[in-house]
């Protein structure tokens, strides 16, 4: 395997994954919307990195840009569906509908666009690896997690169903399910640019870092090809799934 496409490459996990895979000797296509950020990363990573400005929610743009990839960045052997976001932490009855729509369009529809476009080539070559970025939020309910958690539950079940459809083919699928990770823009985005509120989330917590996730990806892609990690849930030692809550009179 030597060519990987990573979505959400302009910050956080995606950026760290690109750096790690380049260091491991892969060619990497990094997808995100912010061209300036991608260009800076490209300047650091050199010619084995191809920056691709693309909004994963735009189906036609995804299709046409992937059909025009330079020869030296084809075929894609590894797809890392990492682009995603949470918006808001309000209870469902106070949430902004536009936030819900954006999460569904990015975390679900965007991921499905990339997969639908790239998977048939992997099947044709009988070779490939899809790694999705789910979340512990897809398994455990928490207050304000409403649509974000549900979108990651989709990613979890979609990953499992892909495995089922791919039985007999040499294509692997893993859902990475991280808990609290700092050093990314996740909370800055969730709180709509309120950086103080975002910083509070990580205060006093020895959180998971983007490099931890990148090292996990590097380990996964280097496991033997007969070996499939279906899902991998990673939390900082400082976090545990909360108990059930009860409201008393
Ligand atoms: P960041 O906000 O740092 O990175 C998100 C990336 O997604 C950015 O590169 C952003 O780039 C890209 N992105 C967002 N929307 C689009 C779009 N429409 N098209 C293309 N790219 C897009 O967050 P993280 O690195 O923390 O998160 C990465 C993934 O990991 C997400 O799926 C998140 O849900 C998941 N996750 C994060 C956890 C955490 O605690 N940090 C824990 C569990 C899971 P740009 O804005 O330039 O388009
Ligand atoms: C990100 C982790 O706990 O904020 O998926 O949902 S959490």
> Which tokens in the block code for residue 102?
């954006």
* Cα separations in angstroms, 119 against 71, 106, 114, 133: 18, 18, 8, 17
Task: Quote the ligand 2 centre to 236 CA distance (angstroms).
Answer: 12
Q: Do the bridges between strand 128-133 and strand 171-178 make them parallel or antiparallel, or are there none, so unpaired?
A: parallel
Q: Which ligand is nearest to the CA of 36?
A: 1
Cis peptide bond upstream of 232, omega within 30: no
Q: Would you say the CB of residue 110 lies under 6 angstroms from ligand 1?
A: yes
Q: Would you say the CB of residue 233 lies under 6 angstroms from ligand 1?
A: no
The Cα–Cα gap between 27 and 2 comes to 6
Is 148 known to be catalytic? yes
Give the orientation angle of helix 12-23 with respect to helix 35-45, to 10 degrees: 20
Q: Mean pLDDT across the chain, nearest whole number?
A: 97
pLDDT (mean) for 49-61? 98
Q: Indicate the CATH number of 3-234 among 3.40.50.720, 3.10.50.40, 3.40.50.1970, 1.10.10.10.
A: 3.40.50.720
Strand intervals (E) in 8-115: 27-32, 49-53, 78-81
* pLDDT at residue number 242: 78
Q: What are phi and psi of 7, to 5 degrees?
A: -90, 155
Q: Would you say the CB of residue 7 lies under 6 angstroms from ligand 1?
A: yes
pTM of the model: 0.98
Task: Count Cβ atoms within 10 A of the Cβ of residue 143 and give its class: 0-12 exposed, 13-18 middle, 19 or more buried.
Answer: exposed
> Which tokens in the block code for residue 173?
């699928």
The Cα–Cα gap between 181 and 71 comes to 36
The Cα–Cα gap between 204 and 226 comes to 41
* pLDDT at residue number 244: 85
Name the catalytic one among 140, 148, 202, 207.
148
Instruction: Identify whether the C-beta of residue 176 lies closer than 8 Å to the C-beta of residue 131.
Output: yes
Q: Would you say the CB of residue 5 lies under 6 angstroms from ligand 2?
A: no
Question: What residue's CA is closest to ligand 1, atom 25?
Answer: 12
The tens digit of pLDDT for each residue in 124-180 reads 999 999 999 999 999 999 999 999 999 999 999 999 999 999 999 999 999 999 999
pLDDT (mean) for 73-88? 98
Where do the structural domains in the chain lie, given as residue ranges?
Answer: 3-234
Q: Do the bridges between strand 78-81 and strand 49-53 make them parallel or antiparallel, or are there none, so unpaired?
A: unpaired
**pLDDT band at residue 1 under the 50/70/90 scheme:** low
Task: Quote the ligand 1 centre to 134 CA distance (angstroms).
Answer: 11
Could you tell me which residues come within 8 angstroms of residue 111 by beta carbon, excluding any fewer than 6 positions away? 7, 56, 81, 83, 84, 132, 155, 158
The tens digit of pLDDT for each residue in 218-233 reads 999 999 999 999 999 9
Q: Is the pLDDT of residue 181 over 60?
A: yes
* pLDDT at residue number 232: 98
């Amino acid at each position: 395997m030597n060519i990987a496409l990573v979505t959400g490459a302009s910050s956080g996990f995606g950026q760290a994954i690109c750096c790690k895979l380049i260091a491991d000797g892969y060619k990497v296509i990094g997808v995100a919307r912010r061209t300036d950020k991608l260009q800076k990363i490209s300047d650091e990573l050199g010619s084995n990195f191809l920056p691709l400005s693309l909004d994963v929610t735009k189906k036609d743009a995804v299709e046409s840009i992937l059909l025009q990839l330079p020869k030296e960045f084809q075929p894609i052997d590894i797809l890392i569906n990492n682009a995603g976001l949470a918006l808001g932490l309000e209870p469902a009855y106070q949430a902004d509908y536009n936030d819900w729509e954006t999460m569904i369009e990015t975390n679900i529809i965007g991921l499905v666009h990339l997969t639908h476009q790239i998977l048939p080539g992997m099947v044709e070559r009988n070779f490939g690896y899809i790694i999705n970025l789910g979340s512990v939020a897809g398994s455990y309910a928490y207050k304000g997690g409403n649509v974000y958690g549900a979108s990651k539950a989709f990613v979890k079940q979609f990953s499992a169903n892909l495995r089922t459809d791919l039985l007999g083919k040499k294509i692997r699928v893993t859902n990475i399910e991280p808990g609290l990770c700092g050093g990314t823009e996740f909370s800055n985005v969730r709180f709509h640019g309120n950086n103080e509120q975002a910083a509070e989330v990580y205060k006093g917590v020895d959180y998971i870092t983007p490099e931890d996730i990148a090292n996990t990806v590097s380990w996964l892609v280097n496991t033997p090809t007969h070996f499939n990690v279906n899902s991998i849930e990673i939390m900082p030692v400082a976090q545990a799934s909360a108990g059930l809550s009860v409201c008393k009179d």
